[in-house]
Amino acid sequence: MKKIIGLIAWLVVVCLCAQNEVNYNESKVPAYILPDLLEGNNGEKITSIEQWEKQRRPELLELFASQVYGQTPDAKIDVTYELLTEDPNVMDGKATGKQVKFTFSNGNKKIEAILLMYIPNKPTGKVPVFVGYNFKGNHSTTLDTTILYSPVFQLVKEPDHPDWERGIQSNRWCYDKIIDRGYAVATMCYHDIFPDKPELKDHSIISLFPGYPETIAPGEWQAIGAWAWGSSRIVDFLETQEKIDSDKIAIMGHSRQGKAALWAGARDERFRIVISNDSGCGGAALFRRKFGETIAVINKNFPHWFCENFRQYNDRDEMLPVDQHQLIALIAPRKVYVASAEEDLWADPRGEFLSAYHAGPVYRLYGLTAIDSDKIPQLHKPIMEDIGYHIRAGEHDVTEYDWECYLDFADKHFKN
Ligand code: GTR
């Protein structure tokens, strides 16, 4: 009897370990069938743009909201903007720098955030703009000592944390290059919208919405939904800016912000280009490949990112009614670009590529160009159709090479 109990206990341990083991072996990727992009929930084939826009697209948006990212409330939160600084002469005179305080309020409670913007001085007309969150504060994106610290930063980082240092992620924001190419750039610290710790939800914009915290329903939004909502509020502000061409707004998000950028781009059609940089699980990567990070692992490590319903798919990734090629397709006919890094296996570069590839049928429905081959391209050979993709050498990061590709892609679609 003892032996049998011992054997059962051993089997349970083996099974649990096997479940949590990360797969980096292509030959162990399970055979999978992706949910059909062009078949409605009622089994009907989608063959026209009209059917896609009226029937299938709303169905998919609803599935992603209820099962993955959570529902974004319809309630409107009051937002005011205050220009804190404006310097028409930054970067040796080639740009204007602005810092703008956003105050989100529900009448009882306020949350503040700071947007940092650089606008090129040379073009006389309106300019296109890249929007994107930074991870370590606006002060981390440049050495400029006039950049203000985010109000929330003291909540997320201890006073002696190295992230208080200026410019530590300036490599991810090649402002000079962006300005030289004639683009404006607008960035905000993502902690301002939802400080990235589960216990800090009370300091997030979610806490301003009616019903909080009583109504934490299984399909309710969490951090990724909040970050996506926040990037739309940045667009609201950009639309008030005379120098900004609001028909040419691109969003670029890295990693967890790549996930949020895709969700923002799927929901808000004002983003005309959506760029996912190394976004991985819950971003561009196909869940069903179970390569690198999986649903169970991401929900365990980041319980505050996705809605509670998403936990039903822990270790049952193939039961999720959607997969990420469908999220990318929701961006059509607007342009989308997915980027991977060769050594970033945790994010499953091949899975990121394949979802961009499998989004193709919706782009083709619009008569647009998609990715032709399911063979991942060579390093540094970007694909620049209406869907773009590249894989570069190196690790999980945003590099100058990534930005060069995004600027080329934006030139192709915004400047012709
Ligand atoms: C990792 C996480 C990834 C990705 C990354 C990041 O720890 O597992 O899904 O989001 O963080 O945002 O840098």
Question: For residues 337 and 398, what is the distance between their CA atoms, to the nearest angstrom?
Answer: 14
Query: Taking the CA of residue 226 as centre, how many other CA atoms within 13 Å lie in the half-sphere pointing to its CB?
Result: 29
Q: Is the pLDDT of residue 7 over 90?
A: no
Q: pLDDT tens-digit profile of 83-97?
A: 999 999 999 999 999
Q: pLDDT tens-digit profile of 218-262?
A: 999 999 999 999 999 999 999 999 999 999 999 999 999 999 999
* pLDDT at residue 201, as a whole number: 96
Question: For residues 149 and 139, what is the distance between their CA atoms, to the nearest angstrom?
Answer: 6
* pLDDT at residue 15, as a whole number: 43
Ligand 1 atom, smallest distance to 280 CA: 9
In which order are the strands placed within the sheet that holds 127-134?
A: 78-90, 95-105, 110-120, 184-189, 127-134, 244-254, 273-277, 335-341, 387-392, 383-384
Q: pLDDT tens-digit profile of 107-151?
A: 999 999 999 999 999 999 999 999 999 999 999 999 999 999 998
Q: pLDDT tens-digit profile of 48-75?
A: 999 999 999 999 999 999 999 999 999 9
Say if residues 35 and 43 touch (Cβ distance below 8 Å).
no
Query: Ligand 1: does its nearest atom lie under 6 Å from the Cβ of 293?
Result: yes
- Quote the distance between the C-alpha of residue 247 and its chain's center: 20
Question: For residues 333 and 115, what is the distance between their CA atoms, to the nearest angstrom?
Answer: 29
How far, in Å, is the centroid of ligand 1 from the Cα of 61? 23
How far, in Å, is the centroid of ligand 1 from the Cα of 362? 28
Instruction: List 249's β-bridge partners, or say none.
Output: 129
Q: Which of 276, 286, 234 is nearest to 255 (CA)?
A: 276
* pLDDT at residue 6, as a whole number: 55
Instruction: For each of the domains in the chain, give its residue range(s) and CATH number, in order of start.
Output: 2-77+87-95+119-415 (3.40.50.1820)
Q: Provide the pLDDT confidence category of residue 4 given band limits of 50, 70 and 90.
A: low
Say if residues 264 and 228 touch (Cβ distance below 8 Å).
yes
* pLDDT at residue 402, as a whole number: 98
* pLDDT at residue 416, as a whole number: 73
Q: pLDDT tens-digit profile of 371-408?
A: 999 999 999 999 999 999 999 999 999 999 999 999 99
* pLDDT at residue 2, as a whole number: 59
How far, in Å, is the centroid of ligand 1 from the Cα of 338? 16
Degrees, nearest 5: CA angle 58-62-63: 120
Query: Ligand 1: does its nearest atom lie under 6 Å from the Cβ of 280?
Result: yes
Question: For residues 263 and 319, what is the distance between their CA atoms, to the nearest angstrom?
Answer: 20
Question: For residues 353 and 331, what is the distance between their CA atoms, to the nearest angstrom?
Answer: 16
Ligand 1 atom, smallest distance to 259 CA: 10
Average pLDDT, the chain: 95
The answer to whether residue 255 is catalytic is yes
How far, in Å, is the centroid of ligand 1 from the Cα of 256? 5
Q: Is the pLDDT of residue 44 over 90?
A: yes
Q: Where are the alpha helices (DSSP H) in 149-242?
A: 153-156, 175-180, 223-238
Catalytic residue among 66, 140, 255, 355: 255
How far, in Å, is the centroid of ligand 1 from the Cα of 266? 20
Residues near 180 by beta carbon (within 8 Å), at least 6 away in sequence: 94, 120
> How many percent of the chain have pLDDT more than 90?
93
Query: Ligand 1: does its nearest atom lie under 6 Å from the Cβ of 255?
Result: yes
Q: Provide the pLDDT confidence category of residue 99 given band limits of 50, 70 and 90.
A: very high
Query: Ligand 1: does its nearest atom lie under 6 Å from the Cβ of 260?
Result: no
Catalytic residue among 170, 207, 232, 396: 396
Question: For residues 317 and 307, what is the distance between their CA atoms, to the nearest angstrom?
Answer: 15
Q: Provide the pLDDT confidence category of residue 21 given band limits of 50, 70 and 90.
A: confident
Say if residues 69 and 307 touch (Cβ distance below 8 Å).
yes
Q: Which is higher by pLDDT, 10 or 151?
A: 151
* pLDDT at residue 151, as a whole number: 87
- Quote the distance between the C-alpha of residue 349 and its chain's center: 16
For ligand 1, atom 13, name the residue with the nearest CA: 255
Q: Is the pLDDT of residue 13 over 90?
A: no
Q: Provide the pLDDT confidence category of residue 339 given band limits of 50, 70 and 90.
A: very high
* pLDDT at residue 372, as a whole number: 97
Residue where the block lists tokens 């300005």: 179
The answer to whether residue 191 is catalytic is no
- Quote the distance between the C-alpha of residue 6 and its chain's center: 46
* pLDDT at residue 3, as a whole number: 60
Instruction: List 113's β-bridge partners, or say none.
Output: 102
* pLDDT at residue 71, as a whole number: 97
Q: Provide the pLDDT confidence category of residue 8 given band limits of 50, 70 and 90.
A: low
Q: Please tell me the total number of residues recorded for the chain in this structure.
A: 416
Mutate to test the pocket of ligand 1, among 293, 300, 397 (most ligand atoms within 8 A of CB): 293
Structure-token pair, residue 153: 């930063």
How far, in Å, is the centroid of ligand 1 from the Cα of 191? 15
Structure-token pair, residue 20: 């949590």
Question: For residues 331 and 251, what is the distance between their CA atoms, to the nearest angstrom?
Answer: 12
Structure-token pair, residue 70: 């959570």
